[in-house]
């Protein structure tokens, strides 16, 4: 089955080290998801595409127990098969906070300030039968020292 991003321009992929794509204005401010233009100081400005850091810290999170409204939700589950998932804001250093699905479904295994890393995961299928892929954040495994 062919894998495709849920939407073009959200992240670099396929890639061993995927990154989210943001827009940077002349004043240094960032916007995610990327868009080509924005008002800066009252003037419409073309934004530069930049890759955001792949790692950050969990700023806050919750568990979503209900199926989001479709559209825009594009999962291939139904009300009967839907399983809750964790979602949170990850603070990317020197950049911004990004809302994303988290790969750890058990909220008791998450903590604010925990290091997280961007991953690309399957979500559903598009109208052509392709596997759609979305960005998410996974906890970084802490190395143990002996």
The closest alpha carbon to 52, from 7, 9, 92, 5, belongs to 92
CA distance 33 to 72: 15
Minimum mean pLDDT among 13-27, 66-80, 115-129, 131-145: which range? 66-80
For residues 103 and 61, the answer to whether their CB atoms sit within 8 Å is no
Residue pLDDT, tens place only, 21-55: 999 999 999 999 999 999 888 999 999 999 999 99
Q: Is the pLDDT of residue 134 over 90?
A: yes
């Amino acid at each position: 089955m062919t894998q495709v991003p849920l939407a073009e321009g959200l992240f670099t992929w396929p890639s061993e080290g995927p990154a989210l794509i943001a827009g940077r204005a002349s004043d240094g401010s960032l916007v995610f998801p990327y868009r080509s233009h924005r008002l800066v100081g009252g003037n419409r400005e073309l934004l530069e595409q930049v890759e955001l850091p792949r790692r950050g810290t969990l700023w806050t999170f919750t568990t979503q127990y209900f199926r989001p409204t479709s559209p825009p939700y594009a999962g291939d589950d139904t009300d009967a098969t839907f399983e809750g998932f964790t979602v949170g804001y990850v603070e990317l250093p020197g950049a911004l906070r990004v809302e994303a699905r988290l790969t750890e479904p058990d909220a008791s295994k998450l903590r604010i300030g925990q290091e997280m890393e961007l991953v690309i995961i399957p979500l559903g299928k598009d109208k052509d039968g392709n596997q759609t892929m979305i960005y998410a954040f996974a906890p970084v495994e802490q190395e143990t020292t002996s």
